[in-house]
Structure 1
């Protein structure tokens, strides 16, 4: 008997992503240059579950891309809660709006277009949950910027922290700014005694950072 792929088994025994997210996923794979960047079925269900457990009233996502992760988090958030999501590439606006507008959770989502470093200080919010999934070169700067805005007991999630395994390479070229950015961020979190942290080997690495 043919052995079932472990990822297929996991997904077949987890909740479905639903028709809207499946359509978004297909659309991204057909029409976008880097569809691999979206969170996908498994990580999406995990993000939703985090929101079910944490029950955040205010969440922040840095890096909307297709809004796949945004929609998953909004699914898990209670009525009256809000997720601010920031996308620097305004060419994604039509794609994002196409799917956010169809979601029954669209009232929980506020999309901002522009540079997160400029937008975040203007939000005037205290966040229960932050999801960082944007420019890898700037992870440490995003972290420093949002940390004072996260409540004690709040959770920061950082995506791609294993970066295709490049974080374990012995020599990283000086020109590889993205890998160097992730390495610097991982070392920064390791040394930060204001938080508890663990890297999950999920997809490309997901770091959970709990503020004491």
Structure 2
């Protein structure tokens, strides 16, 4: 649940009621996530999921990278916009939970386009020679700045990067935050806004999405 949802649940319901319906497979995945995980709030959820799907459909990317799979909800949303020959590589390190995204990936129409890897994202980015045109990061916040620096040479002009949770429950407004994750998110937001080779906007959707485009 986001900072904004906690403060205005009526608005959240209004937005959901006026947003395109999620596919049935996502409804079932969302339900099972709440039934079987200890932190179900980590799921992208209805509104953000529809935003990810719509943005992906607009971009029609050929090569998506997702850092932070969790139960695979966002992965399936992003896959909706893949080009016919496209693929999405999604990375996570939670072996215990891996059965859940695998179950829904295999069941989905995008099964052949999803490459789910249990691998540290920093290691992957240091080793891969792939170039991505859409990157979604929703993982350990303390590595956000490092992820951005590693991703920059792995994307082409016109590519889009999305960082989730960049408002961090409103904690980014703290002038001198003590929490390291808050410090790193503030550093990322400051860094991106000063990058000459990128254009950006922070969207107050759920807990904040930093939408970045390489010029």
- The normalised TM-score by structure 1 is 0.94
Decide whether the 8 Å contact of 2:69 with 2:92 is kept in 1: yes
Decide whether the 8 Å contact of 1:89 with 1:114 is kept in 2: no
Name the count of aligned residue pairs: 207
Residue of structure 1 aligned with 2:19, choices 14, 17, 20: 14
1:115 shift after superposition: 0.7
The alignment status of 1:203 with 2:206, answered yes or no, reads yes
Which whole-Å CA distance do the structure 1 matches of 2:97 and 2:152 have between them?
A: 27
Alignment correspondent of 1:56: 61
The alignment status of 1:190 with 2:188, answered yes or no, reads no
Alignment correspondent of 1:149: 154
Tell me the secondary structure at the aligned position of residue 80 of structure 2.
helix
The alignment status of 1:135 with 2:173, answered yes or no, reads no
Which whole-Å CA distance do the structure 1 matches of 2:183 and 2:95 have between them?
A: 27
Greater RCO (Cα-Cα under 8 Å, separation 6 or more)? 2
Decide whether the 8 Å contact of 1:90 with 1:114 is kept in 2: no
Which whole-Å CA distance do the structure 1 matches of 2:191 and 2:162 have between them?
A: 14
Alignment correspondent of 2:184: 181
Q: Which runs of 5+ in 2 are unaligned?
A: 1-8
Q: Which runs of 5+ in 1 are unaligned?
A: none
1:123 shift after superposition: 2.9
- The normalised TM-score by structure 2 is 0.93
Which whole-Å CA distance do the structure 2 matches of 1:178 and 1:130 have between them?
A: 20
Alignment correspondent of 1:43: 48
Which whole-Å CA distance do the structure 1 matches of 2:121 and 2:162 have between them?
A: 16
Deviations 1:5-52 (A, max 9, x none): 222222222211122111111111121111111100111111011111
1:177 shift after superposition: 1.4
Residue of structure 1 aligned with 2:122, choices 101, 117, 121: 117
1:80 shift after superposition: 1.2
Deviations 1:123-174 (A, max 9, x none): 321111011111100001001101111101111111000000000023311x
Which whole-Å CA distance do the structure 2 matches of 1:92 and 1:125 have between them?
A: 27
| 74-83 or 7-16, which deviates more | 7-16
| 140-149 or 11-20, which deviates more | 11-20
CA RMSD of aligned residues (A): 1.3
